[in-house]
Amino acid sequence: MLVLPKVLAMLIVLPLLTVFADVLGVLGGMLMAQSQLDVAYPEFIGRLVKAVNPTACFR
């Protein structure tokens, strides 16, 4: 009765928190690449897609 709601809440929130942190990390990297390395945003996204290969997760 005391533990189950907390466990269920953790199961729901933890994946959302992970995605949120990943998105903020990529956005922070994009801002730093723009300010420090003069890498344009579209170029950053293009390189990110090549480096991460998001389709590899769904094979």
Of the candidates 14, 8, 35, the one whose C-alpha atom is nearest the C-alpha of residue 27 is 35
pLDDT one-digit tens code per residue, 26-35: 999 999 999 9
**pTM given for the model:** 0.74
Residues of the chain above pLDDT 70, percent: 97
* Amino acid 1: pLDDT: 83
Mean pLDDT, to the nearest integer, of 11-29? 96
C-alpha dist (Å) from residue 17 to 12, 20, 23, 29: 9, 5, 10, 18
Radius of gyration (C-alpha) of the chain in whole angstroms: 17
Determine phi and psi for 3, rounding to 5 degrees: -90, -40
* Amino acid 26: pLDDT: 95
